[in-house]
Amino acid sequence: MSTHIEISDKLPENSGDIEQLYRDAFPDEDLVPLVKNLLASGDEVLSLTATKGENLVGHAVFTTCGIAVENETSDHRVALLGPVAVLAALQKQGIGGRLIQNGLERLTADGNTQVFVLGDPNYYSRFGFQEDRLIAPPYPLPEQWRPAWQSKNLQNDMHVQSGILTVPVPWQDASLWS
Ligand SMILES: CC(C)(COP(=O)(O)OP(=O)(O)OC[C@H]1O[C@@H](n2cnc3c(N)ncnc32)[C@H](O)[C@@H]1OP(=O)(O)O)[C@@H](O)C(=O)NCCC(=O)NCCS
C-alpha cells in the first residue's frame, strides 16, 4: 500500500469512514453529529481529507462564518476551523499540520480575511493563530478557555476590529462551546 498521504477536498465514498475516524480520534467526545451536519451544509464548508492509499486517515473542516458589528454583518469573509481529526495511530506525523496548512492556503486564495479556532494554543500557534480578544465567540466561554479562542489574519491589514462571530446552524449549539 502507498505510504503517500494525499490531501483533497473529495469526501470518502463510504461515509462510515468519517464516523470511524472521529470515533478513533475523539474517544471521549461525540463529534459525529456536528461533522455530519457540517458536511450536509454544502457551500458553507471546506472539508479536507487526508488519505493513505484507500484509507481515510485525517479530516479537517473550515466553516464560512460572519462577523456581526453593532447588529450589522461585516462584509469580511471569515471561517471557523474545526474539528480536525487524525487517526490516533498516525498522529504526530504531520498529517494534521498538512490539512490545516492546505485549508489556510485555500481560504487565503478565496479572499477570506481571518480564520478562527477554539483549540489548544500550543498546537494552533504553530500555524500563526493568536489569542483573539477583539472578536467574541458566538457563545460566552469560561474564562479559563479564553486563551483557546484564537484567530489568524489571512490578508494584510484587513481584519475587523470588534464584533461577534456569527456561525451557521450546525455550530449554533451552546454545548459545543462550553
Ligand atoms: C490535534 C491533531 C489533529 C493533530 O494532528 P497530527 O497529525 O497529530 O499533528 P501534526 O503531526 O501536524 O503535529 C503534531 C505535533 O503537534 C503536537 N500536538 C498535537 N496536538 C497537540 C495539542 N493539543 N497541544 C499541543 N501540541 C499538540 C504534537 O505533540 C506534535 O508535536 P511534535 O511535532 O513536536 O512532535 C491530532 O492529534 C488529533 O486528531 N487529536 C485528537 C483530536 C483533537 O484533539 N483534535 C483537535 C481539536 S478539534
pLDDT of the residue at 74: 77
Confidence of residue 177 (pLDDT cuts 50, 70, 90): very high
Domain ranges of the chain: 5-172
Most informative mutation of 116, 123, 124, 177 for ligand 1 (most atoms within 8 A of CB): 123
Confidence of residue 42 (pLDDT cuts 50, 70, 90): confident
How much distance in Å is there from the Cα of 92 to the middle of ligand 1?
6
CA 170, distance to chain mean position in Å, is 13
Pocket of ligand 1 from Cβ distances under 6 Å: 25-26, 82-86, 91-97, 119-120, 122-123
Between 140 and 72, name the one with better pLDDT.
Answer: 140
The average confidence (pLDDT) of the chain is 93
Reported CATH class of domain 5-172: alpha beta
In whole angstroms, give the CA distance from residue 42 to residue 47. Answer: 10
The pLDDT tens digits for 11-31 are 888 889 999 999 999 999 999
The pLDDT tens digits for 128-165 are 999 999 999 999 999 999 999 999 999 987 777 789 99
pLDDT of the residue at 130: 97
How much distance in Å is there from the Cα of 81 to the middle of ligand 1?
14
Provide CB contacts within 8 A for 7, sequence distance 6+: 48, 49, 50, 98, 99, 102
pLDDT of the residue at 156: 81
How much distance in Å is there from the Cα of 102 to the middle of ligand 1?
16
Rg (CA), the chain: 16
How much distance in Å is there from the Cα of 38 to the middle of ligand 1?
22
Is 128 within 8 Å of 151 (Cβ atoms)? no
Which three three-digit cell numbers place residue 93? 506525523
| Percentage of residues in the chain having pLDDT higher than 70 | 97
pLDDT of the residue at 1: 46
HSE of 66, CA atoms in CB hemisphere, 13 A: 11
